[in-house]
Amino acid sequence: MQMEDRITAAEKEFEIAGKQLAREREILAEMEAVMEKLPTGSAQRETLGQQYQNRLTYYQEIQKEMKGKQAAFERQKEIFKTEKTGYESRQALAGVSRNFEITLKTGEILHAWLVRAAMVHDLALLKVDGCTTPYIPAAVRDSAARQQTVFAIGSPLNFADTVQNGIVTGFSGGFIQTNAPIYPGNSGGPLVNDQGHVIGINTFKELTRNFEGMGFAIPIHTALEEFAGELK
């Protein structure tokens, strides 16, 4: 199921759950109205009061669970929208540009061509002919863990070969979350663990007004699987 379909299905589920909660509120209001008409201290009022409390507790638990799920869903939806926007921008660029220039650390400029842009992730595979360079090995699959030290490598704001450290703070929507600073120019660069292995590809940063923001990286094995056919 595509992400758009999942979002639509989840929104329908929340709509149904919202209607069920609204009906529960109506039932609670009806029970309150009935209790007010019963004599204080009567057995019937005591029994109905206990039923009301049980139903109210159930309603509050379901409401709390729904709010938590909805908040998590909204966060993942925003992550998806951000990734989709970046992907569409790069697809538009890829539609115009098929040839690129790669600048090495030595200053040498090489020519590269687009092999394929990913249909789902914000990724593209480029090929440089006639050049063999060292590479950073990929980490073992699923080896990334919370609190793990990581380094984001890239050229943020045109400052070449910048390394910024942080930790893995979590996993969300298929992404690795990190507090390592990620700025324009880091996108596409590696997220490396303290053993010198690539665990992800930096892709975007979720900005907020209240704090620095959270960086996100696509797991390296997601990228390798995406281009498995071309990398054989």
pLDDT digits (tens, 9 = 90+) for 159-193: 888 899 999 999 988 899 999 988 777 888 999 99
Q: What is the pLDDT of residues 49-58, one digit of tens each?
A: 999 999 999 8
Q: How high is the pLDDT of residue 1? A: 46
The verdict on 144 and 221 lying in the same domain is yes
Hey, what are 142's tokens?
A: 């699923």
Of the candidates 177, 178, 156, the residue with the CA atom closest to the CA atom of residue 165: 178
The pair of three-digit structure tokens given for residue 74, joined into one six-digit string: 């909204």
Q: How many CB atoms lie within 10 A of CB 165?
A: 14
Mean pLDDT of the region 9-31: 86
Decide if 33 is inside a domain.
yes
pLDDT at residue 4 is higher than 80: no
Quick one: average pLDDT of 88-107? 69
Average pLDDT over residues 87-98: 59
Residue 224: predicted pLDDT: 93
For residue 109, is it within any domain?
no
Compute how many other C-beta atoms are within 10 angstroms of the C-beta atom of residue 183: 18
How confident is the model at residue 62, as a pLDDT?
A: 86
67 inside domain:
yes
How many other CB atoms are there within 10 angstroms of residue 54's CB atom? 10
Do the domain assignments include residue 34?
yes
In the block, which residue shows the tokens 């930790």? 167
Assigned domain for 122 exists: no
> What are the φ and ψ backbone dihedral angles of 20, each rounded to 5 degrees?
-65, -40
pLDDT value, residue 89: 59
- For the chain, helix (H) and strand (E) counts, in that order, are 3, 9
Domain assignment present for 192: yes
- Please give the pLDDT value at position 207: 54
pLDDT for 185-220, tens place per residue? 788 899 999 999 999 999 877 655 455 567 889 999
Asked if residue 179 belongs to a domain, the reply is yes
Q: Is the pLDDT of residue 158 over 50?
A: yes
In this structure, what CATH number is given to the domain that contains residue 145?
Answer: 2.40.10.10
Q: How many domains does the chain have?
A: 2
pLDDT band at 74 (very low <50, low <70, confident <90, very high): confident
d(CA 216, CA 223): 14
Position with higher pLDDT, 143 vs 5: 143
Question: Beta partners for 127?
Answer: 113
Last residue of a domain, one of 28, 62, 94: 94
Segment 92-118 mean pLDDT = 77
Residue 13 domain flag: yes
Which residues span the domain enclosing 207?
136-227
**69 with 147, same domain?**
no
